Structure 1
Amino acid sequence: MNIRIIAIIALLFSSSLLRADEGMWLLGNLNKQTRQAMKELGLQLPVEKLYNPKKPCLADAVVSFGGFCSGVVVSDDGLVFTNHHCGFSSVQQHSSVEHDYLKDGFVARNRNEELPNPELYVRFLLRTENVTKRVLKATKPSMTESERRVAVDSLMLLIGNEVGDRDSTLVGVVDTYYAGNEFWLSVYRDFNDVRLVFAPPSSIGKFGWDTDNWVWPRHTGDFCVFRIYADKNNQPANYSPDNIPYKASYVAPISLDGYKEGSFCMTLGYPGQTERFLSSFGVEERMGGMNQAMIDVRGVKQAIWKREMDRRPDIRIKYASKYDESSNYWKNSIGMNKAIRELSVLEKKRTAEATLRQWIQRTPSEREKLLHLFSSLELNYKDRREVNRAMAYFGESFINGPELIQLALEILNFDFEAESQQVTLRLEKLLDKYANFDLSIDKEVFVALLKEYRSKVDTRYLPPLYQAIDSAYGGNEHAYVDSLYAQTQIATPRGLQRFLERDTTYHLLEDPAIALGIDLIVKYYDMNHATSTASEEIERGERLMSDALRRMKVDYNFYPDANSTLRLSFGTVGGYSPFDGAAYDYYTTVKGIFEKVQEHQGDPDFAIQPELLSLFASGNFGRYADEKGEMNVCFISNNDITGGNSGSAMFNARGELLGLAFDGNWEAMSGDIVFEPDLQRCIGVDVRYMLFIIEKYGKAGELIKELKLNASK
């Protein structure tokens, strides 16, 4: 191979050169190269202790928390540590103006006081299995992409169902990897009785709120404590007062020694979604479509919510969880688009694609199959660009917009033929929506989003309701919304009750909100149908490109994109320099809390109870202090994480818990697309700070006694 070709191939990977701190690795597929890299970086625990389907191992202590976060089991009686923002909705559901657990925190003084959460579950991974050959046997080269998808999806479902058929306590899920070129089966066991045990006040768990979200330095005690319950045989069971604490097969020990610059650190959790292999055309579409729609529409909605939350305690409690969930990825989208531009991500992607295109042209077998790969991708992304963008704004403005529409869609999709338990849970979920719903706020949001959507899309993408606004209401959105809310029966639980009781005087499909929901579904379907041909070709092109990339570099240590399955990332604790003249340290202390309180006087996002400030000022940190006697709050490593990793265990070289991952950093928000080794950081809350708050502020010493604390000092 001549020097020019070597240089070209090197360019391909210049945007994602795999270093020891990059990659979200499948524990069941750790190759020799990855294992060696971990050992060289400092891992002391035998690799077999990380994941072993036949023996207790570290992975057995890690859970998927609710399907949207991660957590770690830390006691023989099923205590689970996760993030405060992961448990936020549970804390909110149990809160009221009289018992404001969001503001004041929550402590169960005994196990009878631990609070059940019917919609919450935790999931343990038991084993994984590569089923690629079996799945791909169902495909043929002559298939269209839609035919291939149907065949693949059917077999994936069949393989997954086989697990539950053999053992009803297990769940089998087959997931796709490398854009649909590989398939792995994961076998899980779910536990549905998960109870709230401890939550710090939001002044700790959400300190800094939106201002500090996705930002370092950080001083947020982002943690919550739950407990898993099981039946008397330690098997999954629905909530019952007779259930007992779950006996874990492996409990994560906790280190009180902390970390230093360069300390080995690994993260185990369930990262949600990355798109490291996405084409430049796909990245460009995401920026102008989904990301920009979130930025524009959620910004409008959240401003209304936040204004009312700051005015009224009852609204703050009702809307806290919704606001938290919405604002998280609103700010993420802002940061991602900014980082993509500033870090020249599109240019890096295009350089890589140019190199791959040259390799295809030089390789006869590849040229025959893939000569038009990139021109096809470019053409099809262009063909669906405008309607795809409109669909993104449509989804944010309507499907994920006014809560009245969400209620209408939920009622339309209600499955009364499901198992009675599922019907009951869904009804409870619906009633919970009503309990956290304010008509006047929702009407204002509806009016604002109607205006926002009209201003952002072409008139051909306006649903029929705009014709009614213009013709029957003289273009007055306020009048239309007032009339809609006055006429619909489902704005209150009374309409739902009439429907459920089969009231013959109430015709559901004639209800104006339900009729609007149907019109919106039809419009969205029409828009989606208009992109179907282009979308199929894009799906095929992205799959072929990902596969070609791996064929071109057969000796490269590829890792698959995150897809909500259990992953390991590893690296070291360390600071970084985000820009010239700035150097960020690798940890923060309670001193920074005082500084931020002073800097942001009058800002409720940085308000903190006087008793907490007094506790910090006392300096009485005991065994939880670092070697300097300081109370560390947060720390950073270069572990590779993304959404879903929230609550992931951060372990040291011996497999001892150092803290919980809860955020990424603003300068590398493009990390879901391209890993930036010099900038990208994982922000974690120090476990010693968590224990300090539990013991000294919460006075919950009994919880500390359950833990396995290790200290060399």
Structure 2
Amino acid sequence: MKCKIYIVLFILCSHYSIAHEGMWLPLLQEQNIFPIMQQAGCKLSEHDIYDAHNASLKDAIVQVGSDCSGGIISNNGLVITNHHCVESFIHKQSSVAQNYLQEGFWAKDHTQEIPVSGLYVSVLQRIIDVSNDVLSDVSDTVSAQEFYMRTQAKIDSIIAVYTLHDSTLHYSIESLYGGNQYLLFSSRRFSDVRLVGFMPANIASFGADLDNWMWPRHAADFALLRIYVDTLQNAADFSEHNVPYIPRTCLSIDTSGIQEGDFTMLMGYPAQTNNYATSYETSRIFSDLNPLQIELRKRKLAAIHEYMQLGEIQSLQYYSTYYSLLNYYVKWQAEQEGIQRYKVIERKKTFENNMQEWIKTQQDISENHSNILALYDSAYAQYFTSYIALVTYAESVWKMDFFMFAEKVLPLYYAALKNTVDTHRVERIRKVAADYYVNIAPHIEQKLLPDIMSYLDSNLNVAYMPEMYRSFSISERNDYIQSMIHESILFQKNAMDIFLKKIHKKRYQSRPQNIVKIMEQDKGIQFVIQTRAVLSEILFPQYYNALLELEYCTKKYMSVMRTCTNQTPMSPDANGTLRVSFGNILGYSNADAIYYAPQTTSYGLQQKWNLQHIAYPKDEILDSLCNQHNKGSFFSDTVYVNFIGTNHTTGGSSGSPVLNAYGSMIGLNFDRSSESAMSDLYYDAAICRNIMVDIRYVLFCIQMYGKSPHLIQEMSFFTK
């Protein structure tokens, strides 16, 4: 009998025992993962990676905004991240006259560096386990709502105490393992961040949408930023008097080259994974959620792409929007293929069956949690009903330009309802409208909205439709939408101009009910008002209540899972906090007789240029540099471009420094292969690969293409 139990436990834990799997907290010793890292080739101590009191690698790893990672590579606050991580900010700085996206940019000194409004960079200071404090006032007998209220009150109280002690730091408390552990993260947040250098987009994002999520790749996906602080080295808003940040430590760079099999370690801020999703949860994602998201993105992308083909101005106008939408459109399709091809749902079912068998052998767990999986799936089904409706709105009207524009106009309506209209409020609306009709192309959504609403008619629960709209027949709905896009101030500039003239008149400002009347006659405004009512009064309450129940059930489910795998290290799902993932440089095979080597070179660039495909525009300067005898300080012959490894990554891992066994930087993470899109749900080291820029190619681009050797002189280099 004991032998059978051990066999079941071995099978149960096997999926979670793959060394390359997981995005680990930097508290490596506490997770029992560090010995495995050392066996894999790591030459560092755990204190080299994370030390709360002394300089360590964690002081050189940054979070860029809320979506990306980066590394500090000089003692003058120079930061490296991905080009695509700051592309939207580059886009905002670009114009037809000064098109940084098309031309690239290299600051020759500090005075030329471009301030980036709205971008911040964070550096972790310390991690503290506050689980006992957060969970001190709860038990398994409280309701989901009570659990949330009590733990949230504790979290708020703890953060208040730390903020009182040091208000210069930013604090957050994050739950792990489904709410079984709570960690406090303190960080310094820097808001004066400036663009220093980056390649033209056609080189940085070489291959564009054709190569996205694909291997082999040949992209120079990097950008250089600089952190500025006040003269006392305190974080500060932009000022001409600010000076470069001096970090506690910075990353050294190793240019000796890489080999297949080399140990690699990523440090960064991965956003979100769901690796412990059940088979039922995964099946709903595969059968319902992803197909819906793919279809709605497809329609939006087609409409925007058609507009972008009209010319350079139109292309530049929607460049950032288009490629932002495209990224996950491609990802979801690849995830679908991976789930099906690698039988992810079936593998999860096998795990669950083994878990159920193990539970039967554990009397204390069996008495309390024998049906834990069924309870979890039931809670997820309840949650999914409102969740997929919210996603439907988020992928359709809720995030369309006309809707977001309406939300800026509606404060005038609500003020008029309260008889509080004034000239300042009216003037703000005029400025918002002027900006909207200059920077947005409403006719994109005039063509798109009928198509989107037709899809919603067939795929959105009628109970979640706007009140008036749901009462219409299909033909009446079509007529309503057509009337809306041809008459509403949200779609027609002439209608907006007439509206603005009216509300500037004294009889409208002195009698706000007149403003209410004309806004209630606008079908676009009414559509948005009623949609917002559905979201706030029906969908969000249902969603949040179901989410609380699901999270509470997740806590119990994860507790059982951790108990049964207590001899096997188990990484918490990514949640935007600092993580470490490790693996090796390794090629792979995804089909019979096909093997993908782990490195690409400039010869691949030239082969793609020869295809004369629109996704591979030839850059004559780069071509010349790759072919000339003098290739600079970092290549003597072959120019190595990108490489792949078995590191577990996800969104947010973009820009993560890739480190060797000694902690020196050898590359920059920027993507995954299409086979790896499923790794947010299920990781398989045999097939999942992350894609990285070789640091030597980065330096080659800086030195030879950007003609900026002064930036390289700031850096320190690793020697064994």
TM-score by length of 2: 0.90
Q: Does 1:517 align with 2:563?
A: no
Give the drift of 1:160: 2.3
Q: Does 1:482 align with 2:494?
A: no
Q: Deviations over 1:44-87 (max 9, x none)?
A: 23321111111111110100001110010111111110001001
Q: Deviations over 1:547-590 (max 9, x none)?
A: 10111222221111110000011111111112221111111001
Counterpart code for 1:7? I
Q: 1:372 to 1:189 in 2, by over 3 A?
A: same
The answer on whether the counterparts of 1:409 and 1:514 sit within 8 Å (CA) in structure 2 is no
Once the two structures are superposed, the pairs formed by residues 247-258 of structure 1 within 5 Å of their partners are 247-258=246-257
Q: Does 1:398 align with 2:397?
A: yes
Q: Deviations over 1:14-62 (max 9, x none)?
A: 4x24232222111124338422222222222332111111111111010
CA distance in 1, matches of 2:327, 2:656: 17
Give the drift of 1:311: 2.7
The answer on whether the counterparts of 2:28 and 2:34 sit within 8 Å (CA) in structure 1 is no
Residue of structure 2 equivalent to 1:194: 193
CA distance in 2, matches of 1:671, 1:52: 30
Q: State the number of aligned residues.
A: 697
The answer on whether the counterparts of 1:301 and 1:448 sit within 8 Å (CA) in structure 2 is no
Q: Does 1:6 align with 2:14?
A: no
Once the two structures are superposed, the pairs formed by residues 278-317 of structure 1 within 5 Å of their partners are 278-317=277-316
Give the drift of 1:398: 1.7
Larger radius of gyration: 2
Q: Does 1:611 align with 2:621?
A: yes
Counterpart code for 1:480? M
Q: 1:470 to 1:37 in 2, by over 3 A?
A: closer
Residue of structure 1 equivalent to 2:29: 30
Q: Does 1:457 align with 2:460?
A: yes
CA distance in 2, matches of 1:220, 1:570: 22
CA distance in 1, matches of 2:32, 2:431: 50
Q: 1:259 to 1:151 in 2, by over 3 A?
A: same
**SS state of the match for residue 395, structure 2?**
helix
* Greater shift in the superposed pair: 136-145 or 210-219: 136-145
Counterpart code for 1:338? E
Q: Does 1:665 align with 2:673?
A: yes
Counterpart code for 1:268? M
CA distance in 1, matches of 2:591, 2:660: 29
Give the drift of 1:386: 4.9
Residue of structure 2 equivalent to 1:624: 634
Residue of structure 2 equivalent to 1:424: none
The answer on whether the counterparts of 1:125 and 1:186 sit within 8 Å (CA) in structure 2 is yes
**SS state of the match for residue 17, structure 2?**
coil
The answer on whether the counterparts of 2:83 and 2:198 sit within 8 Å (CA) in structure 1 is yes
The answer on whether the counterparts of 1:72 and 1:82 sit within 8 Å (CA) in structure 2 is yes
Unaligned runs of 5+ in 1: 417-426
Residue of structure 2 equivalent to 1:438: 441
CA distance in 2, matches of 1:664, 1:707: 28
Counterpart code for 1:632? Y
Q: Deviations over 1:240-281 (max 9, x none)?
A: 111111111111111111211111110000000011112222
Q: 1:230 to 1:481 in 2, by over 3 A?
A: same
Give the drift of 1:429: 11
Q: 1:50 to 1:536 in 2, by over 3 A?
A: closer
CA distance in 2, matches of 1:497, 1:479: 22
Q: 1:534 to 1:230 in 2, by over 3 A?
A: closer
Counterpart code for 1:330? Y
Residue of structure 2 equivalent to 1:422: none
CA distance in 1, matches of 2:45, 2:498: 60
CA distance in 2, matches of 1:7, 1:65: 45
CA distance in 2, matches of 1:32, 1:49: 16
The answer on whether the counterparts of 1:161 and 1:172 sit within 8 Å (CA) in structure 2 is no
Q: CA RMSD in A?
A: 3.0
Residue of structure 2 equivalent to 1:640: 648
Counterpart code for 1:311? L
Counterpart code for 1:586? P
Q: 1:662 to 1:94 in 2, by over 3 A?
A: same
CA distance in 2, matches of 1:431, 1:167: 43
CA distance in 1, matches of 2:17, 2:470: 51
* Greater shift in the superposed pair: 293-302 or 535-544: 535-544
The answer on whether the counterparts of 2:486 and 2:492 sit within 8 Å (CA) in structure 1 is no
Q: 1:597 to 1:522 in 2, by over 3 A?
A: same
Q: Deviations over 1:103-137 (max 9, x none)?
A: 11112222122111121000000000111110001
Once the two structures are superposed, the pairs formed by residues 319-330 of structure 1 within 5 Å of their partners are 319-330=318-329
Q: 1:237 to 1:536 in 2, by over 3 A?
A: closer
Counterpart code for 1:520? T
**SS state of the match for residue 84, structure 2?**
coil
Q: Deviations over 1:646-673 (max 9, x none)?
A: 0000011121111110111111221011
Q: Does 1:699 align with 2:710?
A: no
Counterpart code for 2:441? D
Residue of structure 2 equivalent to 1:21: 20
Q: 1:706 to 1:186 in 2, by over 3 A?
A: same
Q: Deviations over 1:124-170 (max 9, x none)?
A: 00000111110001213332112111221222232223322221210
Q: Deviations over 1:459-481 (max 9, x none)?
A: 44433446569576763644432
The answer on whether the counterparts of 1:660 and 1:687 sit within 8 Å (CA) in structure 2 is yes
Q: Deviations over 1:202-236 (max 9, x none)?
A: 11111111111111111111101111000000110
TM-score by length of 1: 0.91
Q: 1:340 to 1:473 in 2, by over 3 A?
A: closer
**SS state of the match for residue 635, structure 1?**
strand
Residue of structure 1 equivalent to 2:599: 587
CA distance in 2, matches of 1:499, 1:645: 49
**SS state of the match for residue 590, structure 2?**
coil
The answer on whether the counterparts of 1:635 and 1:684 sit within 8 Å (CA) in structure 2 is yes
Give the drift of 1:532: 5.9
CA distance in 2, matches of 1:691, 1:411: 48
Q: 1:468 to 1:108 in 2, by over 3 A?
A: farther
The answer on whether the counterparts of 1:21 and 1:569 sit within 8 Å (CA) in structure 2 is yes
**SS state of the match for residue 675, structure 1?**
coil
CA distance in 2, matches of 1:497, 1:197: 45
Give the drift of 1:379: 3.4
Residue of structure 1 equivalent to 2:451: 448
**SS state of the match for residue 544, structure 1?**
helix
Q: Does 1:566 align with 2:578?
A: yes
Q: 1:206 to 1:432 in 2, by over 3 A?
A: farther
The answer on whether the counterparts of 2:465 and 2:531 sit within 8 Å (CA) in structure 1 is no
Unaligned runs of 5+ in 2: 416-429
Once the two structures are superposed, the pairs formed by residues 465-476 of structure 1 within 5 Å of their partners are 465=469, 475=479
Give the drift of 1:540: 2.6
Residue of structure 1 equivalent to 2:426: none
CA distance in 1, matches of 2:109, 2:502: 41
Residue of structure 2 equivalent to 1:421: none
The answer on whether the counterparts of 1:269 and 1:567 sit within 8 Å (CA) in structure 2 is yes
The answer on whether the counterparts of 2:485 and 2:491 sit within 8 Å (CA) in structure 1 is no
Q: 1:619 to 1:152 in 2, by over 3 A?
A: farther
The answer on whether the counterparts of 1:11 and 1:351 sit within 8 Å (CA) in structure 2 is no
Q: 1:320 to 1:622 in 2, by over 3 A?
A: same
Residue of structure 2 equivalent to 1:116: 115
Residue of structure 2 equivalent to 1:677: 685
